[in-house]
Structures are given as C-alpha cells and as structure tokens.
C-alpha cells in the first residue's frame, strides 16, 4: 500500500478520536503486534502520519528507555496532537489492557487446564508475529528506496548480532547506531552522504 504524501494526510483527529483508536488497539492486541496494528491504523486507515514519519518513531521508540510500544504511542500522539495527544494516547492504549489483565488473572486460575485456551493464545501470538514481520518488511523497503548501503549494512548487522549471534541488544545498538547515523549524516558539500 502506498505511503500517503504529506499533502494527502487527513487533518489531525480530536483527542477523543485519537484516544478511541488507541484504546481499541490496546484492548484487542493480544500477544503483541501493537506496533504493526498502530502502523496500519495511523498510516494507512486514518492517514494521520506518513510511513517515513512512523518508521522514524519506531526507531526512536526502540532506542530510548522504556517499553517500545509505549514509547511509540507517546511519539505518535505527540506528532498528531502535541503533548495532550501524547498523554491521551498513552492513557488510552494502557487503560483497557490494564483492566483486562486484572480480570484475566482472576479467571486464568479457573480455565488454565483447558487445552482450547492454549490453542487460542498460540493462534493470536502467531498473528502478532505476522504483524511484526510485515512492519519489518515495510522498514526494509524504505531502506531499499533510499538506495544507500550504510542503512542496509546497519540493519543486517543488527539482525545478525542480536537475532543470530544472540548478543545483548544494548551494546549492539550503542555501537551500530552511531556508526549508522555517521554514515548518513549530511556532509558540508550539501546533501546527505550516499554511503
């Protein structure tokens, strides 16, 4: 699906509408996959952000302390409606799951021995993994469109280091992120480096 151009973006929603969308994402996102679902809603369905802006938020959310999805939620809310948008987004996303977790924890004791429960959880987790893979493919396509080798090398190096070699994420990011930024930092000659 094509990324909406900035001039094609929808006007910013009301705080209630923004909160409502993120509330239902939080309530129905069992097993993870929140980033993929937030992307689908705010970029493709409602056209509140561009794909590039959202992917920048994903990168930022993953390098600052805290849970990635809450960081992303604050970023999305801030970009769409400022500080009040960030506050509303975080509250809306977290309130539904918090209430549900309390009730599920109470009920789980009574239904934990039923095999159908485990089958349902496995199915939902598989769908969440699929959403995250889709988001990874979108990020890869963006890097390919940039036609720069440095971001591709950084992406592959991170994947191999963390995913294959199972090295700790923080040292890998502390080494690869500055090198990646330096490789694409604009040079004095004008324009970004084409590394």
- The answer on pLDDT for 187 being more than 60 is yes
- Residue 186 sits at φ, ψ, to 5 deg, of -60, 135
Q: Residue 94: its pLDDT value, please?
A: 93
Q: Residue 194: its pLDDT value, please?
A: 47
Query: Which pTM was predicted?
Result: 0.62
Sequence-distant (6+) residues with CB within 8 A of 188 are: none
Q: What is the pLDDT of residues 141-154, one digit of tens each?
A: 777 776 678 777 88
Q: What is the pLDDT of residues 79-111, one digit of tens each?
A: 999 999 999 999 999 999 899 888 888 887 787
């Amino acid at each position: 699906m094509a990324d909406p151009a900035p001039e094609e973006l929808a006007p910013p929603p009301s705080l209630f509408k923004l909160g409502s969308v993120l509330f239902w994402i939080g309530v129905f996102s069992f097993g993870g996959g929140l980033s993929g679902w937030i992307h689908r809603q705010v970029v493709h369905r409602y056209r509140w952000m561009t794909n590039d802006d959202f992917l920048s938020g994903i990168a930022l959310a993953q390098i600052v302390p805290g849970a990635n999805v809450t960081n992303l939620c604050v970023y999305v809310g801030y970009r769409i409606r400022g500080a009040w948008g960030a506050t509303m987004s975080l509250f809306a996303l977290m309130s539904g799951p918090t209430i549900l977790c309390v009730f599920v924890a109470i009920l789980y004791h009574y239904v934990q021995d039923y095999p159908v429960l485990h089958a349902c959880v496995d199915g939902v987790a598989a769908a969440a993994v699929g959403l995250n893979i889709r988001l990874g493919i979108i990020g890869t396509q963006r890097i390919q469109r940039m036609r720069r080798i440095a971001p591709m090398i950084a992406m592959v190096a991170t994947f191999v280091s963390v995913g294959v070699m199972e090295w700790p994420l923080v040292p890998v990011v502390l080494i690869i992120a500055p090198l990646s930024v330096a490789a694409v930092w604009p040079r004095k000659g004008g324009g970004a480096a084409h590394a």
